[in-house]
Amino acid sequence: MSAAALTGSVNAARAIQEAIDERPDPIPLYAELSSVNPIVVLPDAAATRADQIAEGLFGSFTNSGGQLCTKPGLAFVPSDPGGDGLVEALRARVDASGGTVLLNERIRDAYENRSTEFERAGARVSARPTVEPGAGFTVAPTLLEVGLAGLTAEIADECFGPLLIVVRYDDAADLDAALATVPPSLTGSLHRGQDDDVDVVRRLVDVLAARAGRIVFDGYPTGVRVSWAQHHGGPWPSTNAVHTSVGATSIRRFLRPLAWQDAPAWVLPEELRDEYTVISRRVDGRLRPAVE
Protein backbone atom coordinates (compact mmCIF):
# COMPACT_ATOMS: atom_id res chain seq x y z
CA MET A 1 0.00 0.00 0.00
CA SER A 2 1.23 3.50 -0.78
CA ALA A 3 0.93 6.29 1.79
CA ALA A 4 2.44 9.63 2.73
CA ALA A 5 3.47 10.88 6.16
CA LEU A 6 4.24 14.42 7.27
CA THR A 7 5.31 16.28 10.36
CA GLY A 8 4.83 19.93 9.51
CA SER A 9 2.37 22.79 9.21
CA VAL A 10 -1.34 22.70 8.45
CA ASN A 11 -0.69 24.59 5.20
CA ALA A 12 1.88 22.03 4.10
CA ALA A 13 -0.55 19.20 4.83
CA ARG A 14 -3.29 20.88 2.83
CA ALA A 15 -0.93 21.33 -0.12
CA ILE A 16 0.09 17.66 -0.02
CA GLN A 17 -3.55 16.58 0.28
CA GLU A 18 -4.45 18.66 -2.79
CA ALA A 19 -1.70 16.90 -4.75
CA ILE A 20 -2.96 13.52 -3.53
CA ASP A 21 -6.50 14.37 -4.59
CA GLU A 22 -5.26 14.89 -8.15
CA ARG A 23 -3.78 11.40 -8.36
CA PRO A 24 -5.71 8.74 -10.30
CA ASP A 25 -5.19 6.48 -7.27
CA PRO A 26 -5.49 8.57 -4.07
CA ILE A 27 -3.38 7.46 -1.11
CA PRO A 28 -3.77 8.18 2.61
CA LEU A 29 -1.88 11.05 4.23
CA TYR A 30 -0.83 10.69 7.85
CA ALA A 31 -0.04 14.20 9.06
CA GLU A 32 1.13 15.53 12.40
CA LEU A 33 0.49 19.24 12.29
CA SER A 34 -0.26 21.84 14.95
CA SER A 35 -0.59 21.57 18.73
CA VAL A 36 -0.97 24.03 21.62
CA ASN A 37 -0.82 21.39 24.37
CA PRO A 38 -2.57 23.29 27.20
CA ILE A 39 -1.55 22.79 30.82
CA VAL A 40 -4.03 23.40 33.66
CA VAL A 41 -2.69 24.09 37.15
CA LEU A 42 -5.38 23.87 39.84
CA PRO A 43 -5.25 26.05 42.99
CA ASP A 44 -3.94 23.52 45.50
CA ALA A 45 -1.25 22.35 43.10
CA ALA A 46 -0.09 25.96 42.69
CA ALA A 47 -0.19 26.55 46.44
CA THR A 48 1.85 23.48 47.35
CA ARG A 49 4.22 23.01 44.39
CA ALA A 50 4.67 26.44 42.82
CA ASP A 51 8.45 26.33 42.41
CA GLN A 52 8.48 22.70 41.31
CA ILE A 53 5.83 23.30 38.66
CA ALA A 54 7.60 26.47 37.48
CA GLU A 55 10.85 24.53 37.09
CA GLY A 56 9.23 21.78 35.04
CA LEU A 57 7.15 24.17 32.97
CA PHE A 58 10.15 26.36 32.14
CA GLY A 59 12.10 23.34 30.92
CA SER A 60 9.15 22.02 28.97
CA PHE A 61 8.59 25.15 26.87
CA THR A 62 12.25 26.13 26.38
CA ASN A 63 14.09 22.84 25.86
CA SER A 64 15.13 22.27 22.23
CA GLY A 65 14.31 25.91 21.61
CA GLY A 66 10.61 25.19 22.12
CA GLN A 67 10.67 23.44 18.74
CA LEU A 68 8.82 20.31 19.82
CA CYS A 69 5.33 19.35 18.70
CA THR A 70 4.47 18.61 22.35
CA LYS A 71 5.69 21.97 23.70
CA PRO A 72 3.09 23.57 25.99
CA GLY A 73 1.88 26.88 24.60
CA LEU A 74 -0.76 27.76 27.19
CA ALA A 75 -0.66 27.38 30.98
CA PHE A 76 -3.82 28.10 32.98
CA VAL A 77 -2.77 29.36 36.42
CA PRO A 78 -5.07 30.53 39.25
CA SER A 79 -5.25 34.23 40.17
CA ASP A 80 -4.42 33.69 43.82
CA PRO A 81 -1.27 33.83 46.00
CA GLY A 82 -0.23 30.32 44.96
CA GLY A 83 -0.60 31.23 41.30
CA ASP A 84 1.25 34.49 41.86
CA GLY A 85 4.16 32.56 43.35
CA LEU A 86 4.23 30.14 40.44
CA VAL A 87 4.22 32.92 37.85
CA GLU A 88 6.92 34.83 39.72
CA ALA A 89 9.12 31.72 39.87
CA LEU A 90 8.54 31.13 36.17
CA ARG A 91 9.27 34.78 35.36
CA ALA A 92 12.55 34.65 37.26
CA ARG A 93 13.70 31.62 35.29
CA VAL A 94 12.84 33.24 31.97
CA ASP A 95 14.57 36.52 32.90
CA ALA A 96 17.71 34.60 33.89
CA SER A 97 17.80 32.53 30.72
CA GLY A 98 19.85 33.18 27.63
CA GLY A 99 19.04 33.10 23.97
CA THR A 100 18.18 29.97 22.08
CA VAL A 101 18.90 29.16 18.45
CA LEU A 102 16.03 28.17 16.16
CA LEU A 103 16.35 25.89 13.17
CA ASN A 104 16.21 28.40 10.36
CA GLU A 105 15.40 31.96 9.38
CA ARG A 106 11.79 31.21 8.48
CA ILE A 107 11.08 29.70 11.91
CA ARG A 108 12.78 32.62 13.66
CA ASP A 109 10.77 35.18 11.70
CA ALA A 110 7.52 33.29 12.32
CA TYR A 111 8.31 33.12 16.04
CA GLU A 112 8.91 36.84 16.30
CA ASN A 113 5.87 37.69 14.19
CA ARG A 114 3.59 35.42 16.19
CA SER A 115 4.83 36.91 19.46
CA THR A 116 4.00 40.38 18.14
CA GLU A 117 0.55 39.19 17.05
CA PHE A 118 -0.16 37.82 20.52
CA GLU A 119 0.81 41.15 22.08
CA ARG A 120 -1.41 43.06 19.68
CA ALA A 121 -4.26 40.72 20.55
CA GLY A 122 -3.97 41.60 24.25
CA ALA A 123 -1.31 39.37 25.79
CA ARG A 124 1.28 41.35 27.77
CA VAL A 125 4.96 40.57 28.14
CA SER A 126 5.67 39.09 31.56
CA ALA A 127 9.31 38.17 30.97
CA ARG A 128 11.71 38.36 28.04
CA PRO A 129 15.45 38.60 28.59
CA THR A 130 17.64 40.88 26.52
CA VAL A 131 19.60 38.64 24.20
CA GLU A 132 22.64 39.65 22.20
CA PRO A 133 22.59 38.46 18.59
CA GLY A 134 24.42 35.16 18.43
CA ALA A 135 25.34 32.52 15.98
CA GLY A 136 22.50 31.24 13.85
CA PHE A 137 18.95 32.40 14.41
CA THR A 138 18.95 33.42 18.07
CA VAL A 139 15.75 34.46 19.87
CA ALA A 140 14.81 35.26 23.46
CA PRO A 141 12.47 32.96 25.41
CA THR A 142 9.21 34.81 26.01
CA LEU A 143 6.62 34.60 28.76
CA LEU A 144 3.32 36.32 28.02
CA GLU A 145 0.33 36.73 30.32
CA VAL A 146 -3.38 37.30 29.78
CA GLY A 147 -6.53 37.12 31.89
CA LEU A 148 -9.05 34.40 31.18
CA ALA A 149 -11.53 36.93 29.81
CA GLY A 150 -8.91 38.09 27.32
CA LEU A 151 -8.20 34.63 25.91
CA THR A 152 -9.26 34.68 22.27
CA ALA A 153 -8.90 32.21 19.45
CA GLU A 154 -6.10 34.40 18.07
CA ILE A 155 -4.12 34.10 21.31
CA ALA A 156 -4.95 30.41 21.79
CA ASP A 157 -2.87 29.41 18.80
CA GLU A 158 0.43 27.61 18.30
CA CYS A 159 3.74 29.44 18.35
CA PHE A 160 6.67 27.26 17.34
CA GLY A 161 9.54 28.26 19.60
CA PRO A 162 10.25 29.08 23.28
CA LEU A 163 7.09 31.04 24.05
CA LEU A 164 4.49 30.35 26.74
CA ILE A 165 1.28 32.23 27.47
CA VAL A 166 0.09 32.13 31.09
CA VAL A 167 -3.69 32.47 31.35
CA ARG A 168 -4.84 33.61 34.80
CA TYR A 169 -8.24 32.43 36.00
CA ASP A 170 -10.36 33.19 39.09
CA ASP A 171 -12.58 30.12 39.20
CA ALA A 172 -11.74 26.62 37.93
CA ALA A 173 -15.40 26.26 36.95
CA ASP A 174 -14.72 28.71 34.12
CA LEU A 175 -12.01 26.56 32.55
CA ASP A 176 -14.39 24.29 30.64
CA ALA A 177 -15.50 27.10 28.36
CA ALA A 178 -11.99 28.50 28.09
CA LEU A 179 -10.51 25.19 26.96
CA ALA A 180 -13.13 25.06 24.22
CA THR A 181 -11.35 28.02 22.58
CA VAL A 182 -8.09 26.06 22.44
CA PRO A 183 -7.59 24.02 19.24
CA PRO A 184 -7.54 20.23 19.83
CA SER A 185 -4.00 19.10 20.62
CA LEU A 186 -1.67 16.16 20.92
CA THR A 187 -1.70 16.54 24.69
CA GLY A 188 -3.55 18.11 27.60
CA SER A 189 -1.96 18.28 31.06
CA LEU A 190 -3.48 18.67 34.52
CA HIS A 191 -1.70 19.47 37.78
CA ARG A 192 -3.85 18.95 40.86
CA GLY A 193 -3.35 18.89 44.60
CA GLN A 194 -4.92 16.86 47.39
CA ASP A 195 -7.40 19.62 48.23
CA ASP A 196 -8.52 20.35 44.68
CA ASP A 197 -12.18 19.49 44.02
CA VAL A 198 -12.41 15.96 42.60
CA ASP A 199 -15.52 16.90 40.63
CA VAL A 200 -13.59 19.72 38.95
CA VAL A 201 -10.78 17.30 38.15
CA ARG A 202 -13.19 14.76 36.63
CA ARG A 203 -14.88 17.43 34.52
CA LEU A 204 -11.57 18.80 33.24
CA VAL A 205 -10.38 15.30 32.41
CA ASP A 206 -13.53 14.80 30.32
CA VAL A 207 -12.92 18.09 28.52
CA LEU A 208 -9.27 17.24 27.81
CA ALA A 209 -10.14 13.70 26.72
CA ALA A 210 -12.39 15.10 24.01
CA ARG A 211 -9.70 17.50 22.77
CA ALA A 212 -6.37 15.68 23.12
CA GLY A 213 -4.72 12.38 22.29
CA ARG A 214 -2.75 12.09 25.55
CA ILE A 215 -3.67 13.35 29.03
CA VAL A 216 -0.74 14.06 31.35
CA PHE A 217 -1.26 14.15 35.12
CA ASP A 218 1.13 16.22 37.26
CA GLY A 219 3.74 16.25 34.53
CA TYR A 220 4.71 17.85 31.24
CA PRO A 221 3.97 16.79 27.65
CA THR A 222 7.50 17.06 26.25
CA GLY A 223 9.42 13.81 26.22
CA VAL A 224 7.96 11.15 23.93
CA ARG A 225 8.96 7.59 24.72
CA VAL A 226 8.90 5.00 21.95
CA SER A 227 6.95 2.22 23.64
CA TRP A 228 3.99 -0.12 23.25
CA ALA A 229 1.78 2.17 25.34
CA GLN A 230 2.69 5.46 23.66
CA HIS A 231 0.03 7.42 21.80
CA HIS A 232 1.13 10.42 19.76
CA GLY A 233 -1.92 11.71 17.98
CA GLY A 234 -5.06 13.73 18.57
CA PRO A 235 -8.06 15.38 16.94
CA TRP A 236 -7.57 17.72 14.00
CA PRO A 237 -5.56 19.95 13.63
CA SER A 238 -3.00 18.14 15.79
CA THR A 239 -3.15 15.12 13.47
CA ASN A 240 -5.47 13.86 10.76
CA ALA A 241 -5.58 10.18 11.77
CA VAL A 242 -6.46 8.15 14.84
CA HIS A 243 -3.14 6.29 14.71
CA THR A 244 -0.12 7.15 16.81
CA SER A 245 2.86 8.47 14.85
CA VAL A 246 5.37 7.48 17.56
CA GLY A 247 5.53 4.14 19.34
CA ALA A 248 5.46 0.46 18.55
CA THR A 249 2.01 0.53 16.96
CA SER A 250 2.77 3.44 14.59
CA ILE A 251 3.57 0.88 11.89
CA ARG A 252 -0.15 0.15 11.61
CA ARG A 253 -0.52 3.32 9.55
CA PHE A 254 1.34 1.58 6.74
CA LEU A 255 -0.17 -1.89 6.94
CA ARG A 256 -3.00 -3.04 4.68
CA PRO A 257 -5.43 -5.67 6.02
CA LEU A 258 -5.85 -8.72 3.77
CA ALA A 259 -8.30 -11.60 4.29
CA TRP A 260 -7.65 -15.14 2.95
CA GLN A 261 -11.16 -16.55 2.63
CA ASP A 262 -11.42 -20.36 2.19
CA ALA A 263 -7.79 -20.49 1.05
CA PRO A 264 -6.04 -23.89 0.98
CA ALA A 265 -3.41 -24.21 3.70
CA TRP A 266 -0.54 -24.55 1.24
CA VAL A 267 -1.16 -21.09 -0.25
CA LEU A 268 -1.41 -19.28 3.09
CA PRO A 269 1.48 -17.28 4.52
CA GLU A 270 3.26 -19.37 7.15
CA GLU A 271 1.99 -17.15 9.96
CA LEU A 272 -1.64 -18.02 9.14
CA ARG A 273 -1.26 -21.80 9.13
CA ASP A 274 -2.67 -23.83 12.01
CA GLU A 275 0.66 -25.37 12.96
CA TYR A 276 2.39 -21.99 13.27
CA THR A 277 2.66 -21.11 16.98
CA VAL A 278 5.53 -18.62 17.17
CA ILE A 279 3.21 -15.61 17.45
CA SER A 280 0.01 -15.01 19.41
CA ARG A 281 -3.10 -15.24 17.23
CA ARG A 282 -6.83 -14.94 17.68
CA VAL A 283 -8.73 -17.93 16.26
CA ASP A 284 -12.54 -17.93 16.29
CA GLY A 285 -12.41 -15.06 18.75
CA ARG A 286 -10.10 -16.84 21.20
CA LEU A 287 -6.57 -15.65 21.84
CA ARG A 288 -3.94 -18.37 21.41
CA PRO A 289 -0.69 -17.40 23.15
CA ALA A 290 2.57 -17.93 21.34
CA VAL A 291 4.46 -21.15 22.04
CA GLU A 292 8.22 -20.92 21.82
Alpha-carbon distance values, 40 to 18, 108, 158, 230 (Å): 37, 28, 17, 22
Q: Does 69 participate in catalysis according to the annotation?
A: yes
Give the ranges where the chain is alpha helix by DSSP (H).
10-21, 43-62, 81-95, 105-120, 175-179, 198-211
Our CA dihedral for 120, 121, 122, 125, rounded to 10 degrees, sits at -50
Q: Tell me whether residue 18 is one of the annotated catalytic residues.
A: no
Which is catalytic among the residues 69, 145, 158, 159? 69
The one catalytic residue among 18, 22, 32, 292:
32
Find how far residue 194's CA is from the centre of its chain: 26
* DSSP code per residue over 86-147: HHHHHHHHHHT---EEESSHHHHHHHHHHHHHHHHTT-EEEE-------SSEEE--EEEEEE
Residues designated as active site: 32, 69
